[in-house]
């Protein structure tokens, strides 16, 4: 029997799921369901490594699950659950932590950036180890993520190799799947920096659940340059290049073909076309989101966690046996 390759990925339930998350990773999560065995996780343990309000967090967790379901994550075809409800993630993270040199963690750029902003803590420091555990727990082959996760993926591969060298072949070596276009969608208000959920300026990001009027306004007021030609040049024209990437990733039309079409049309016409495409892309997601009931979603996630615990336990038993922690 042919066994399908396995895909794993995670999303932090930190509110504000934006077009960067969507085009960098989540759109691929949905399409991978057709040809891979897929495991998707709302990584709530990762999200609590930065300051948060528990009451808001509970709502954000369900909202994140709802957005993913509305996008087309199908619990009949994917394993889908909250990370905290499958304790094997944390257990494997501890084991992997014992073989992670602190020198490697000290080089993680995302840790340094976040620690500068919100203060360092042990969870934030070991965040990439828990991420490696997520991926290795299910022996994933492919991990769809945006460009900002490249370094974390390298570390997961490195840990898998270290483990296998020391304890025997237990883990697959996972590959990152990072799209060619739209792996790093930039802020609409400052196209030199990555679009990020934590940006205080709401105009910097289009949210998946934004109403059409908000999408229109945000894209039309996106910061561009004063030279009116539409061409792809991320250094000289980062704002326009970002909009070209967004349009290309939404439509599947190549950037070259879009440049041919809009080269001389002027920024007003081009921005309107981008806004129309994004509105069309997100409209069905918003409709599907509104139809989902929180209590039904909570039940679905509970069932997902039960299945995931059984699957994870089968893998984790092999890890325990390999390191000498067999249940006796
Ligand atoms: P953010 O930076 O917006 O706070 P994040 O990377 O911290 O998001 P997640 O919500 O877990 O946290 O990210 C979900 C996915 O979205 C990841 O695969 C990440 O690489 C991807 N992603 C995040 N921002 C962008 C972006 N600006 N462009 C493309 N992909 C992105
Ligand atoms: N660190 C990731 C979220 C994440 C993840 C994972 C992604 C946690 N565990 C496992 C892929 C696979 C981020 O996007 N910020």
The tens place of each residue's pLDDT in the chain, 328 residues long, gives 558 999 999 999 998 899 999 999 999 999 999 999 999 999 999 999 999 999 999 999 999 999 999 999 999 999 999 999 999 999 999 999 999 999 999 999 999 999 999 999 999 999 999 999 999 999 999 999 999 999 999 999 999 999 999 999 999 999 999 999 999 999 999 999 999 999 999 999 999 999 999 999 999 999 999 898 999 999 999 999 999 999 999 999 999 999 999 999 999 999 999 999 999 999 999 999 999 999 999 999 999 999 999 999 999 999 999 999 998 7
Spatial distance between the Cα atoms of 155 and 159, rounded to a whole number of angstroms: 6
Ligand 1 and 20: CB distance under 6 A: yes
Active site residue 27: no
Ligand that comes closest to the CA of residue 197: 1
Q: pLDDT value at position 25?
A: 98
Parallel/antiparallel/unpaired status of strands 142-144 and 175-177 = parallel
User: Dmax of the chain from CA atoms?
Assistant: 72
Classify strands 37-42 and 78-82 as parallel, antiparallel or unpaired: parallel
Secondary structure (3-state) at 12 = coil
Q: To 5 degrees, how large is the angle CA 159–CA 95–CA 145?
A: 45
Cβ atoms 164, 182 nearer than 8 A: no
Q: Which ligand is nearest to the CA of 127?
A: 2
User: What gap in Å lies between CA 17 and CA 60, rounded to an integer?
Assistant: 10
Could you tell me if the CB of 239 is within 6 A of ligand 1?
A: no
Residue 131 C-alpha to ligand 2 middle, in angstroms? 6
Q: What is this structure's pTM?
A: 0.97
Atom 5 in ligand 2: which residue has the minimum CA distance? Answer: 10
Residue 108's pLDDT is: 98
| Residue 197 a catalytic site member | yes
The crossing angle, in degrees rounded to 10, of helices 267-291 and 255-262 is 130
CB of residue 179 inside a 6 A radius of ligand 1: no
C-alpha 294/C-alpha 291 separation (Å) is 10
């Amino acid at each position: 029997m042919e066994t399908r390759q396995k895909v794993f990925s995670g999303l932090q339930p930190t509110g504000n799921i934006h077009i960067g998350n969507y085009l960098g990773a989540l759109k691929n999560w949905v399409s991978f369901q057709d040809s891979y065995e897929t495991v998707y996780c709302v990584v709530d343990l990762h999200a609590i490594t930065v300051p948060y309000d528990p009451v808001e967090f509970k709502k954000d967790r369900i909202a994140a699950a709802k957005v993913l379901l509305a996008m087309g994550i199908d619990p009949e075809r994917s394993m889908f659950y909250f990370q905290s409800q499958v304790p094997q993630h944390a257990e494997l993270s501890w084991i992997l932590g014992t073989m992670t040199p602190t020198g490697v963690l000290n080089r993680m750029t995302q840790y340094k950036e976040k620690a500068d902003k919100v203060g360092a803590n042990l969870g934030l420091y070991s965040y990439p180890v828990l991420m490696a555990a997520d991926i290795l727990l299910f022996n994933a082959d492919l991990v769809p993520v945006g460009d900002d996760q490249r370094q974390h993926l390298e570390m997961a591969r490195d840990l898998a190799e270290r483990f296998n060298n020391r304890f025997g072949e237990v883990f697959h070596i996972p590959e990152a799947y990072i799209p060619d276009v739209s792996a790093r969608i930039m802020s609409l208000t400052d196209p030199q920096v990555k679009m990020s959920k934590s940006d205080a300026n709401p105009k910097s990001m289009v949210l998946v659940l934004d109403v059409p009027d908000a999408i229109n306004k945000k894209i039309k007021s996106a910061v561009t340059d004063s030279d009116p030609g539409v061409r792809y040049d991320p250094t000289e024209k980062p704002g326009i290049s970002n909009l070209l990437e967004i349009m290309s990733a939404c439509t599947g039309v190549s950037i070259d073909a879009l440049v041919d079409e809009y080269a001389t049309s002027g920024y007003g016409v081009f921005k309107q076309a981008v806004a129309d495409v994004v509105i069309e892309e997100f409209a069905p997601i918003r409709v599907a989101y509104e139809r989902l009931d929180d209590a039904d979603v909570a039940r679905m996630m509970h069932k997902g966690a039960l299945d995931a615990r059984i699957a994870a336990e089968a893998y984790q038993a092999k890890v325990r046996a390999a390191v000498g922690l067999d249940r006796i």
